[in-house]
Amino acid sequence: MFWWFTLIFFITLPSTAWAITDPASVPNNKYGIHIITTNDKEIDSAKELVNSSGGDWGYVTIIIESYSRDQLKWQKFFDKLRNYHLIPIVRLATSPDGDTWKKPYEGEETAWADFLDSLNWPTKLRYVTIYNEPNHATEWGGSADPEEYAKVLDKTIDALKKKNPDFFVLNAGLDASAPQKTPAYYNEETYLNEMNQSVPGIFDKLDGWVSHSYPNPGFLGKPADKGRGTVRTWQWELDTLKKLGVTKNLPVFITETGWKHSQGDKIDNSLPSPETIGQYYKEAFADAWNTPQIITVTPFLLNYQSYPFDHFSFTTQEDVGFHPHYFALQSIPKQSGRPIQENKAELNKGEIYKTVVSGETYQILLTFKNTGQSIWNEYDNVQLFVQEGSKELGLLSVKIPADTKIEPGQTYTFEIVLKAPQSGSYKTVLNLYSGGKQFDSEPFEFITEVKETPAQTNNYLLKVLTLLNKFWKTIA
C-alpha cells in the first residue's frame, strides 16, 4: 500500500489596486482615427491607416450608445482590436430623440460601470470619454447645462473608478467655437468656469483631457493657426484650466479634428482638395501636435458617406477606396507603440493528487487559462518558472513553444517532472513569466507531503536493528 502524495494549491488574485499609469511612460504611437461602426472592413481600414510606416498600437475612437450595451458584441470587437494592435477610446452616448441626444438617466453611471467592467479590454488603461460636446443643447437633452454635466461627470468618474482603478476617465470634448447663446449653446470658457463652480475640483479628478481641436472657422483653418478654434485649441483649453486653478499636468487626447474637403455626396470645389487636406495633416502632426503631452490624435472621420459628415470622410463615396489624405496620413513615419497589458493566469485544471513512491519520477500536468489582456508568446516567450522548491523536488522551468500563441480565454497545459525525494514536507512556488517579468497574478503554491512505503520503512528499521546488534556485540 502506498502513501498519498498531495499537492495543496493556494490560488489568490492580486489584492492591491493599481495606480493609474501615464500612457506617455511607454512607447506610444499617437496616430489614430475616429470610427463609427464595429464591422471588419472599418477595423481593417483603421489598422492599415494608423499602424502604417513603422507604427504599431495606434488608437481608434468609437461611440457606444446606451441601447447598445451588448457584452458579446463589444467583446468580439475588443478581441479584434487586440489582435490588430488598436487601442480603443470609448465615447459614451445616450440615445437619440429626434435630432437631440437624451440626457443620462438617473443611475446610468452604474450601468455604464457594470457594462464596461464586464469587458476584457485590449490594454491595461481603459480610456473612456464621458459623452460629447454638452455645451450644445442638441447633445444634452435640448438645454446646455454645465452644472448638470459636472455632476454627471463627477458621479460617472466615481462609478468607474469604484469598479476598476484602471479606467482612464476623460471629459467630453467641447466645441471651442460655440457662442454664448443659452440654452442652445454655451461659450466653452463660461461652460468650464460654471462646471468648476458646480463641482469644485472636478477637473483634477480627470486622468486626461479630451480636446476637439478643429481648424475653424468652417473647418477650413490652416495648420499654422494658433489659439482657440484652431488645431491648437488644446493649448488654449489647458491654459484656461490653469486659470481655474488646475495644477494637474493632464495628457491630451484630441479625439476629434479635421478639415472639410471637396469630395462628398455632392462635389464642392469651394473646399480644399483631399490632396491639400493631406498636406495639412502632415504639417499639423509635425508642428501643432508634435508634443509628448498629446497621447493621440483621432481625426473625424474614417468612413461617412452622407450629409453632414461626407466631406470629412477618409473613404471615397463608392466606399471602395480612399481619398488622397488617407494615403498622406498613412505615409507619415510612426512609432511602434507598446502599451501596458495585464499578464494573468489561473489554474484551470491540474493533477493535484498522485500516488508516488519516494525516489520515483512523476509527470504532473497543469493547465493554465489566460485571464489577462496579452496574447501569450506574442512578444516574449512565456514560461512556467519554479520560484521555490526546484532543488528538493528536481523541478525545472518549462516554456511554451515559440510558435504557439495563447489568446485570452484559451488554455495551455504544462508538463512538469517531479522527482519524489525522501519523506518530508516540501513547499513549491510556481509562476508564469514573460520576458523575465513575473505575471500580475499571484504565484501558485503547493505543499508536497512525501512518505515512504511500508516496505521502505521496514527496510530502514532492519538496517537500524542490524547496526544495533553489531554495536552490542562489540561492547559485550
Residue 418's CATH number: 2.60.40.10
- In terms of domains, do 248 and 376 share one? no
- In terms of domains, do 261 and 354 share one? no
Tens of pLDDT, residue by residue over 179-190, are 999 999 999 999
Average the pLDDT over 295-312 and give the result. 96
Range of the domain at 159: 27-331
At residue 3, does pLDDT exceed 50?
no
Report the pLDDT value the prediction gives residue 408, as an integer from 0 to 100: 98
Report the pLDDT value the prediction gives residue 1, as an integer from 0 to 100: 33
464 found inside a domain = no
Report the pLDDT value the prediction gives residue 210, as an integer from 0 to 100: 98
Average the pLDDT over 32-50 and give the result. 97
What is the residue type of 392? E
Average the pLDDT over 230-255 and give the result. 97
- In terms of domains, do 383 and 242 share one? no
Tens of pLDDT, residue by residue over 56-83, are 999 999 999 999 999 999 999 999 999 9
- In terms of domains, do 119 and 245 share one? yes
469 found inside a domain = no
90 found inside a domain = yes
In 3D space, the residue among 116, 103, 220 whose CA is nearest the CA of residue 163 turns out to be: 116
- In terms of domains, do 257 and 323 share one? yes
- In terms of domains, do 401 and 264 share one? no
What integer best gives the mean pLDDT of the chain? 90
Residue 351's pLDDT band (boundaries 50, 70, 90)? low
465 found inside a domain = no
At residue 456, does pLDDT exceed 90?
no
Tens of pLDDT, residue by residue over 76-130, are 999 999 999 999 999 999 999 999 999 999 999 999 999 999 999 999 999 999 9
353 found inside a domain = yes
> What's the whole-model pTM score?
0.90
Distances from the Cα of 73 to the Cα of 27, 45, 141, 364, angstroms: 30, 19, 27, 38
- In terms of domains, do 241 and 138 share one? yes
Position with higher pLDDT, 460 vs 243: 243
- In terms of domains, do 445 and 413 share one? yes
CA 348 to chain centre: 24
Decide: residue 176, CB within 10 A, 0-12 exposed, 13-18 middle, 19+ buried.
buried
398 found inside a domain = yes
Number of structural domains in the chain: 2
Residue-by-residue DSSP string for 242-253: HHTT------EE
Report the pLDDT value the prediction gives residue 460, as an integer from 0 to 100: 46
Rg (the chain; Cα; Å): 30
Backbone dihedral angles phi then psi of residue 224, each to the nearest 5 degrees: -90, -10
- In terms of domains, do 226 and 361 share one? no
At residue 15, does pLDDT exceed 50?
no
SS3 269: coil
Distance (Å, rounded) from C-alpha 218 to C-alpha 234? 18
Average the pLDDT over 387-409 and give the result. 87
> Which percentage of the chain shows pLDDT scores above 70?
88
- In terms of domains, do 298 and 350 share one? no
Tens of pLDDT, residue by residue over 196-232, are 999 999 999 999 999 999 999 999 999 999 999 999 9
475 found inside a domain = no
309 found inside a domain = yes
Q: Residue 223: is the preceding peptide bond cis (ω within 30°)?
A: no
Residue 308's pLDDT band (boundaries 50, 70, 90)? very high
- In terms of domains, do 368 and 321 share one? no
- The Cα angle at residue 439 between residues 436 and 442, in degrees rounded to 5: 135
Q: Of how many residues is the chain composed? A: 476
CB 258 within 8 A of CB 301: yes
Signed CA dihedral, 452, 455, 456, 461: sign only: positive
Residue 121's CATH number: 3.20.20.80
- In terms of domains, do 361 and 277 share one? no
